[in-house]
Amino acid sequence: MRKIISGNEAVALAVKLARVGVVGIYPITPQTTIIEELAEMKLRGEVSADVVRVESEHSAMGVTLGAAVSGVRAFTATSSQGLLYMHEMVWWAAGSRAPLVMVVATRAVGAPWNIWNENTDFMSERDSGWIMAFASSPQEALDLTIQAFRVSEDPRVFLPMMVGMDGFVLSHTKTNVYIPSQEDVDEFLPPRRQPYVIDPETQESMGNIFQPFDYMKLRHSIHESIESSQDVIREIGREYEKLNPLSDYKTLNVEYKLEDADYAVVTMGAWSLDAMEAVDRLRQEGVNVGLYRVRYIRPWATDEIMRALGDKKGVIVFDRATSLGRGGPLYLEMKATIDSPVKGVVTGLGGVSIGKKDFYHVISKSIEEFRFKSFREVEWYYPGEVKEVELGTPRSSI
């Protein structure tokens, strides 16, 4: 079935189709309409899930984790400050090897207040031990959320999974979305599997003190599981194509006109489509450039990336996120993966709007720089007239 729906509605539908048992909910823009939709579905009797209206994001993950370890499929969603407030529990979920799913509709982090799109909230959890995918359309948000339950509950993985999508740009924008049937999803998602269940029958306990060696081995095993989850994700992705024949999840990340390209652009999320249009235009002008869209931050698809980008004369990485003092996180990851020259462009923060013209401008300029071997490693790009950056903290005078 097809429907014109927003990214948040798509996620709520995915949660319904996955027959989730417990949902911990707490409002924060721009994620809120996901949980509102779930509460409505509950009222209409369309989901049997227990919807728990908690008093903070810390507790939203607490409820979700408590339900997950006690044997049911569990879900929550958040953004920005909410994710940061939840941070401790995000790590606790991964350390507990609890299969569960969270969607993050991304948003800038304060101070100062800013509710618009930026991916820094999502990216700041990349060390926490979760599987992390990022959508580029409402369709992908739905597909990845359904797949997330399967990946997370696969015995070769047994880790929580986070699906990101650009706040407002995807969360609130309606597009044509293909919704798989309940029968297909039921077949795709086997009954819940998890490493242990806390109930009187199993007699298992989790999380008391571990000695240094044993603790380190547990961290190591999470690392290994994330690494080896690549094959699992590709396998599950191929299987998902039965549910949505138009989808392509054979690979973790997505290539566009890359094979014969000398130069490559790297993006993540919704603006990839604008960047693709810029690539098309540059191609028409005879510039040999292609695009690489990162869909998975964890696992990091080192082999796929080396094959796709290892021999390029220059790679331009766009980050809608920062690792302040070091540029953008995607740029840092890329630089640690390939030997080709890599330039990082930080832009689009706090809702700064970046269009295909901006991509066209930055990409063509950067390719020139690569040609003359004079590229700046990290550039902060402002669209339009704002070319100068005032340093120091702006504040209103008293």
Q: Give contact residues for other proteins (rule: CB under 8 A).
A: 21-22, 24, 50, 52-56, 58-72, 74, 88-89, 92, 96, 198-200, 202-211, 214
Nearest to 341 by CA among 305, 312, 378, 307: 312
Distance of CA 137 to the CA centre of its chain: 12
Task: Please state, in angstroms and as integers, the Cα–Cα distance from residue 282 to each residue in 123, 289, 348, following that order.
Answer: 30, 7, 21
Bridge partners of residue 317, in order along the sequence: 266, 344
Least distance in Å: CB of 169 to other proteins?
31
CA-based torsion, 260, 265, 269, 274: positive or negative: negative
Bridge partners of residue 343, in order along the sequence: 316
Using CA atoms, how far apart are residues 93 and 96, in angstroms rounded to an integer? 5
- Nearer to other proteins by Cβ, of 61 and 305: the residue is 61
Least distance in Å: CB of 63 to other proteins?
4
- Nearer to other proteins by Cβ, of 53 and 238: the residue is 53
- Nearer to other proteins by Cβ, of 57 and 304: the residue is 57
- Nearer to other proteins by Cβ, of 75 and 300: the residue is 75
| Cα radius of gyration rounded to whole Å, the chain | 21
Least distance in Å: CB of 92 to other proteins?
5
Using CA atoms, how far apart are residues 273 and 279, in angstroms rounded to an integer? 10
- Nearer to other proteins by Cβ, of 89 and 109: the residue is 89
State the pairing for strand pair 74-78/101-106.
Answer: parallel
Least distance in Å: CB of 194 to other proteins?
11
Least distance in Å: CB of 127 to other proteins?
17
Query: Is residue 218 helix, strand or coil?
Result: helix
Bridge partners of residue 22, in order along the sequence: 50, 74
Single-letter code of the amino acid located at 313: K
Least distance in Å: CB of 83 to other proteins?
16
Using CA atoms, how far apart are residues 77 and 61, in angstroms rounded to an integer? 9
Using CA atoms, how far apart are residues 160 and 75, in angstroms rounded to an integer? 10
Least distance in Å: CB of 59 to other proteins?
4
Least distance in Å: CB of 86 to other proteins?
10
- Nearer to other proteins by Cβ, of 53 and 219: the residue is 53
- Nearer to other proteins by Cβ, of 77 and 354: the residue is 77
Sequence-distant (6+) residues with CB within 8 A of 380 are 345, 346, 347, 389
- Nearer to other proteins by Cβ, of 160 and 180: the residue is 160
Spatial contact of 381 and 316, defined as CB atoms under 8 Å apart: no
